[in-house]
Amino acid sequence: MLEAPTYDEGDVLEAFHTPRFNPWIDDSEEAREALETLEEEDTTFECTPMYFERTAEWKLRQLRAASTQFDYGALGLIEEIHLLSCAIEWAKHESHNHWSRCDKVFVELRDCLLGMIEFKIAQEDRDIMSIEEDLFTTKTRIERSLRMTSQWRHQAA
């Protein structure tokens, strides 16, 4: 008979709710720099959920229009979305604004990127300019920014 290890429920819940790692892990510097870049380059920039929601909706429309085109224009758009998803992660730090509507648009962006990844992988003839890595990196960055909101929900509970 196998014996499963037993753990104290309180210890498990404490470890889950207070992770032993710094929330500013790995490339948070990239997120800060992305926010600074947006501040410098976009004259309409505001560090608010509304700005990020509006900008993400515009990028989503552009991405849907180019969802089967893998050219330099699409690559530039993916890089802009990556910059936006890094910047929103930094904007969410030290902030308790309401991001749920904005996060909904970012979920749609992530899903669109996932569809592009699936389409790209299904193609038989691969082109020289492969952007799968950019697609995956941007999708992952969006998911990371969405985790920021879920951390707040836990802290507010």
**Tens of pLDDT, residues 92-145:** 876 776 888 888 999 999 999 888 888 877 776 665 456 777 887 888 888 888
Q: 3-class SS at 7?
A: coil
pLDDT of residue 69: 78
Q: Into how many domains does the chain fold? A: 1
Considering the domain boundaries, does residue 45 fall inside one?
A: yes
Supply 12's token pair. 């498990």
Is 9 inside any structural domain?
no
Q: Please determine, for residue 154, whether its predicted confidence score (pLDDT) is greater than 70.
A: no
- Note the pLDDT tens digit of each residue in 32-71: 899 999 999 999 999 999 999 999 999 999 999 987 777 8
Residue 85 lies in a domain: yes
pLDDT the model gives residue 62: 94
Cα–Cα dist 44/1, whole Å: 66
Question: What local confidence, expressed as pLDDT, does residue 145 receive?
Answer: 80
Residue 56 pLDDT: 95
Residue 128 in any domain: the answer is yes
Residue 57, in any domain of the structure = yes
Q: What is the pLDDT of residue 9?
A: 74
Q: What is the pLDDT of residue 37?
A: 94
Range of the domain at 40: 28-156
Instruction: Return the pLDDT at 82.
Output: 92
Quickly count: other Cβ atoms within 10 Å of residue 58's Cβ: 13
Assess if residue 3 is contained within a domain: no
**Lookup result for tokens 């749920």:** 100
Contacts made by residues 103-108, CB under 8 angstroms, sequence distance 24+: 103/146, 103/149, 105/53, 105/56, 105/57, 105/60, 106/56, 106/142, 106/145, 106/146, 107/142, 107/146, 108/60
Residue 106 belongs to a domain: yes
